[in-house]
Amino acid sequence: MSSIKQNGSNTRIHAKDEFDHRSMENEKAWPNMKSALLDAPNEETASLTVELIPASDRNWIAPLWIALEEKCQPVRLSARWTWVSTWLDVFGDTVPHWFAVAHCNGIPVGTCLVTCTGPWLLRQRGTGVIKIGTTGEPLGHSIATEYNDILVDDHYRLDFAKELLHAIRRELRPFAISLPAFSRQAIDPFIRADESFTQVDERCPVFELELARNRGAEPISLLRSSVRARLRRSLRELQPYQTEWASTVEQADDILDELIDLHQRRWMKAGRIGAFSSDRFQAFHRALVPKLLAEERVVLFRLRQGSSTVGTLYSFIDNGDILFYQSGFAQFEDNKIRPGLTTHLLCIDECLARGYTTYNFLSGEQRYKDELSTTSEMLINAQAPGYRALAPLVHYAYRPDVRERMRTIKHFGERVMLMSAREHRRDPV
């Protein structure tokens, strides 16, 4: 069963007895609902329903989402309200979205964000491509969230996936439903619920910190001999050097500022538009970093030689795993110095000392990721037709050759944006 709640409706959520959702904004009423959430039903025969809540009801969703985080441990970073609310602050006005809430016997047991992409008219009607997670940003502004997930107790995960797909098809009638960059564990319930999904794997190189810890080995010793030789030569050339792991907002902002500058210089020099060229992209991360720093879920790392910066790294901490996200490196004429490899190695050393489990380079086929990894994980992108008649077209769009052409078109669009930006900055004659 599923239903969509329109603005101004009298739809209610029940917690043991009927409970008007508007009363959840009342400070006296909310603790009662929170207590009910933490005592969700576990009957095998309990019926689960999914409701699509409009974006305008965000103030009601916030405390519910936070309470579910407490119940549904562990929670992926991308499914935490800190991440989702920051994304909504920056992109909510440009990406149509809804909140999906799962109820079991009237008690909320799960939630996730649902977004819509495609041509403007289709987006406004919810009939474009429906995506699950913080995704769907306009071209040139994507934050490329990886390890997307829904927020739900594992007991209800399969039922939530099944009813969520039914609700989306029934109420929004999309062209397609997309699950971008989900882990195998997170995506399996959707695949089991709907066999029409087409899947494309993306490999994420990973350095196993736990492997080094169990062997009592230095991370460099687990790498290939040729990589070890280059790193040791680079470390000798950089002596003496200092590393910095941000512990204050001032430190984090300073490292982020320098990272953005180094990152943009490199990509602009290569004729490509850097990620931080987008004002929205930059605004998202500037707002996110202080929040995650307070929760100890972000890493801003810097390597320096004297007063000069060699490299900077920006990563997320997700349930004990380090997810490397962005970087900025200085350029050296001496090819004995490998700023990227060296900065990553020293950060891996520090992550090992701090007790983290893995150092995940996320998706991408860059050579340095393979050189610094000991294993890999898979992320899955999956897409299903909104309804059966569209299946051939949706499956065609997910063919590898078609996806490659789409990437080429995207890069061309980025170059056009770059030329436009340069023209805009040019002083008038």
- Per-residue pLDDT at 34: 55
Residue ranges of E strands in 280-331: 298-305, 308-318, 321-329
The least confident of 3-12, 105-114, 392-401 is 3-12
Residue at 314 is within a domain:
yes
In which band, very low, low, confident or very high, does the pLDDT at 36 lie, cut at 50, 70 and 90?
A: low
| Helical segments of 295-354, H only | 339-353
Say if residue 149 is in the same domain as residue 225.
Answer: no
Q: How far apart are CA 136 and CA 19, in angstroms?
A: 33
17: pLDDT strictly greater than 50: no
Say if residue 177 is in the same domain as residue 234.
Answer: no
Q: How far apart are CA 14 and CA 63, in angstroms?
A: 15
Say if residue 263 is in the same domain as residue 360.
Answer: yes
Residue at 360 is within a domain:
yes
* Domain boundary, last residue among 195, 219, 242: 195
DSSP states of 150-168: -EE-GGGHHHHHHHHHHHH
Say if residue 116 is in the same domain as residue 215.
Answer: no
The tally of domains found in the chain comes to 2
Place of tokens 């931080």: 276
Q: Which position has the higher pLDDT, 263 or 401?
A: 263
Domain containing 247: what range? 204-378
* Domain boundary, last residue among 356, 378, 400: 378
Say if residue 230 is in the same domain as residue 139.
Answer: no
Say if residue 112 is in the same domain as residue 224.
Answer: no
Residue at 34 is within a domain:
yes
Q: How far apart are CA 165 and CA 177, in angstroms?
A: 8
Say if residue 229 is in the same domain as residue 129.
Answer: no
Q: Which position has the higher pLDDT, 41 or 81?
A: 81
Residue at 399 is within a domain:
no
Say if residue 284 is in the same domain as residue 317.
Answer: yes
Residue at 335 is within a domain:
yes
Place of tokens 């004002």: 279
Question: The domain spanning residue 170 has which CATH number?
Answer: 3.40.630
Phi–psi pair at 377, nearest 5 degrees: -120, 165
Q: Count of residues for the chain?
A: 429
Q: For residue 275, what are its two tokens?
A: 């990620």
Under a CB-based contact definition with an 8 Å cutoff, are residues 111 and 158 in contact? no
Q: For residue 236, what are its two tokens?
A: 């000798």
Which stretch of DSSP H or E encloses residue 185?
helix 184-193
Residue at 323 is within a domain:
yes
Say if residue 188 is in the same domain as residue 254.
Answer: no
Q: What is the DSSP letter of 272?
A: S
* Domain boundary, last residue among 378, 401, 418: 378
Q: Residue 322: what residue type?
A: I
In tens, the pLDDT along 100-158 reads 999 999 999 999 999 998 766 666 666 789 999 999 998 889 999 999 999 999 999 99
In tens, the pLDDT along 369-378 reads 999 999 999 9
Say if residue 138 is in the same domain as residue 229.
Answer: no
The pTM score is 0.85
In which band, very low, low, confident or very high, does the pLDDT at 272 lie, cut at 50, 70 and 90?
A: confident
In tens, the pLDDT along 322-368 reads 999 999 999 998 889 999 999 999 999 999 999 999 999 999 989 99
In which band, very low, low, confident or very high, does the pLDDT at 10 lie, cut at 50, 70 and 90?
A: very low
In which band, very low, low, confident or very high, does the pLDDT at 14 lie, cut at 50, 70 and 90?
A: very low
Residue at 415 is within a domain:
no
Residue at 228 is within a domain:
yes
Say if residue 208 is in the same domain as residue 166.
Answer: no
Say if residue 238 is in the same domain as residue 179.
Answer: no
Which stretch of DSSP H or E encloses residue 213?
helix 209-215
Question: The domain spanning residue 371 has which CATH number?
Answer: 3.40.630.30
According to DSSP, the residues that pair with 114 across neighbouring strands are 98, 132
Which among 136, 211, 127, 133 has a CA at the least distance from the CA of 170?
127
End-to-end CA distance of the chain: 65
